[in-house]
Amino acid sequence: MDRLHDLQKYEDEHGRKIADENRPAFHLSPQIGWLNDPNGFSQYKGIYHLFYQYNPYGTRWDYRMNWGHWTSSDLIHWKFEKAALAPDQPYEDGVFSGSAITDKDGSHLLMYTAHYEKEEICGQTIRRETQCLARGDGENYIKLEGNPVIDEKDLPDYCDERDFRDPKIWLEDGTYYAVIAARNRHTKKGMVILYASEDARKWSYKGILEENKGALGTMWECPDFFSIKDKNILTVAAMGVRTDNPVYRNGFTTFAFVGEYDSKTGSFTAGEPQGLDLGFDFYAPQSMETADGRRILVAWMQAPESGGSCPEEMKWFGMMTFPREISIRKGILCQNPIEEIRELYVDSVFQKKLAADAETEFEAINGRLLDLTVTVHEREDQNWENFSMKFASNGKNYVRLTYRKTDGHLIVDRRKAGRSASLCDVREVDIGKRDTFKVRLLLDRFSFELFVNDGEKSLTGTIYELPLDAEGLSFEAAGAEMDIEKHAMKAAPVAF
Ligand code: FRU
């Protein structure tokens, strides 16, 4: 049985049947079925490649994972490529997350986790995760004979072989390195461990890069490790976070550690973790560096706990965030949509000094496909206390954002968006008291991404059930003055 071939045939047959209007306009969705983590985000021979955790046969996660594949020449217009990897080897039942680089010989090298899972006769499940390689030309990929290249025997005793996954590989001065997610079998806490290799085949364990020393998760998944200027940044997606700190989304959250790394000793010293996105739906981010030196991140735009909430009639489920450029300002990791977004602007409106003492709608400031920025500041001789904006509104359904200057809290409320009541629907975050508040909204058919104060904070959420014709916007900010910049966006359907 050729699993990969069957899958390619299946996705080709079913993916095309989904009308463009039933997909996001400028966010990526799977060809058919379910998507989770971004994988193998890289530039290879001048083309951007992004792979994804993929179950084409249903709209739920399944351990028999595959790698779906898109390519793009500008990070805006994408094309569905045929699926790249399927679990077709004796050592794997699922092809889990991983990453990609251009190898020394010029080939596209994928490093992924082979997830092995078997039900034994007495009801006991045998689970094991090992790290593997596949090599390709940007279109076809072949798994290496020597797989797995990192397995149980390369793992220190205190790491659990059942939770050992998501290698992020990079090449530095001719040596290969990989950070891999692991779990301490004694403390049951998440950690990221480091490996090095001269040939990508034989790897040696270099130590713990960072670990949960408190209540920051029972397993850390999908680590990424990179530098921006003189800072090194580790990001992790954490499972089972137990804290009442509102900056860390309870349950599943994504952290960034900003610090310094000594590549000679492999040691990493970092400050307090920052919550990477404080909204509802953001997990497993992965980044790459563009040829012009920008660090671009894409994340799975879904909270893992909402995995069972696909609307019934939908044939696909799961999206990626719009690509974000990340930067460090005063030690804070900031995120903003990549500047290429301008390619999608069709109609732009700039309005200054608008007042909205009661809830107000403004002409030409509406739409469902939007890149909108509002700057709120005080009106002459007046003081303002609250700013509130409803978007994707039809009066009955909407998402509401409120900034309370009095205590510096930002509240995003999607209770009227129609998502299941069992999912988190209000987020309240302390972003500090400011006289000027700036928020940017990227609004698509099934999602919103909010960037606050030039990307210092982001809050992302899905709105799968919010009617597509809900495209009203209203504002209220007594005593304030608002400058609004609105760009209507055109759709960039993914090509087949
Ligand atoms: C994160 C994750 C990864 C794993 C993949 C499996 O969402 O659990 O750790 O590799 O999904 O689909």
Which atom of ligand 1 is found nearest the CA of 97?
Answer: 10
State in Å: Cα 65 to ligand 1 middle.
9
Q: Is the pLDDT of residue 250 over 80?
A: no
Q: How confident is the model at residue 463 (pLDDT cuts 50, 70, 90)?
A: very high
* Averaged pLDDT for residues 228-246: 91
Q: Looking at residue 422, what is its pLDDT? A: 84
Q: Which residue has the higher pLDDT, 411 or 421?
A: 411
Q: Looking at residue 427, what is its pLDDT? A: 93
Q: Looking at residue 317, what is its pLDDT? A: 98
The CA-atom distances, in angstroms, between 4 and each of 89, 150, 310, 364 are: 11, 23, 25, 49
Length of the chain: 496
Q: Is the pLDDT of residue 164 over 70?
A: yes
pTM of the shown model: 0.97
With left for phi above 0 and alpha for psi between -120 and 50, is residue 265 left, alpha or beta?
Answer: alpha
State in Å: Cα 276 to ligand 1 middle.
18
Which atom of ligand 1 is found nearest the CA of 98?
Answer: 10
Return the DSSP state at 13.
Answer: H
Least Cα distance to 92 among 150, 131, 139 occurs for: 131
Sorted by sequence, the CB contacts under 8 Å of residue 436 that are 6+ apart come out as: 375, 376, 377
Can you name the residues that pair with 99 across neighbouring β-strands? 111
* Averaged pLDDT for residues 217-228: 97
Q: Looking at residue 1, what is its pLDDT? A: 54
* Averaged pLDDT for residues 171-196: 97
Can you name the residues that pair with 38 across neighbouring β-strands? 52
* Averaged pLDDT for residues 230-243: 94
Token code pair at residue 343:
């390619």
Which atom of ligand 1 is found nearest the CA of 237?
Answer: 1
**Residue 173, helix vs strand vs coil:** coil
Radius of gyration for the chain, computed over Cα atoms and rounded to the nearest angstrom: 23
Residue to probe by mutation, ligand 1, list 218, 221, 281, most atoms within 8 Å of CB: 221
Q: Looking at residue 249, what is its pLDDT? A: 75
Cα(440)–Cα(175) distance, integer angstroms: 41
* Averaged pLDDT for residues 81-93: 98
State in Å: Cα 139 to ligand 1 middle.
23
pLDDT in tens, 379-410: 988 999 999 999 999 999 999 999 999 999 99
State in Å: Cα 438 to ligand 1 middle.
34
Distance spanning both ends of the chain, measured CA to CA: 26
Q: Whose CA is nearest to atom 9 of ligand 1?
A: 221
Least Cα distance to 225 among 260, 198, 184, 185 occurs for: 260
* Averaged pLDDT for residues 458-465: 96
Q: How confident is the model at residue 276 (pLDDT cuts 50, 70, 90)?
A: very high
Residue corresponding to tokens 């006769």 = 121
Q: How confident is the model at residue 177 (pLDDT cuts 50, 70, 90)?
A: very high
Catalytic site positions: 37
Ligand 1 residue neighbourhood (C-beta within 6 Å): 36-37, 53, 65, 96-97, 113, 165-166, 221-222, 283-284, 304
Q: How confident is the model at residue 119 (pLDDT cuts 50, 70, 90)?
A: confident
pLDDT in tens, 123-148: 888 999 999 999 999 999 999 999 99
Q: Looking at residue 121, what is its pLDDT? A: 76
Q: Looking at residue 244, what is its pLDDT? A: 79
Q: Looking at residue 252, what is its pLDDT? A: 87
What's the chain's average pLDDT? 96
Sorted by sequence, the CB contacts under 8 Å of residue 77 that are 6+ apart come out as: 492, 495
Q: Looking at residue 242, what is its pLDDT? A: 86
Q: Is the pLDDT of residue 329 over 70?
A: yes
Return the DSSP state at 494.
Answer: P
Residue to probe by mutation, ligand 1, list 61, 96, 115, most atoms within 8 Å of CB: 96
State in Å: Cα 484 to ligand 1 middle.
39
Q: Looking at residue 421, what is its pLDDT? A: 77
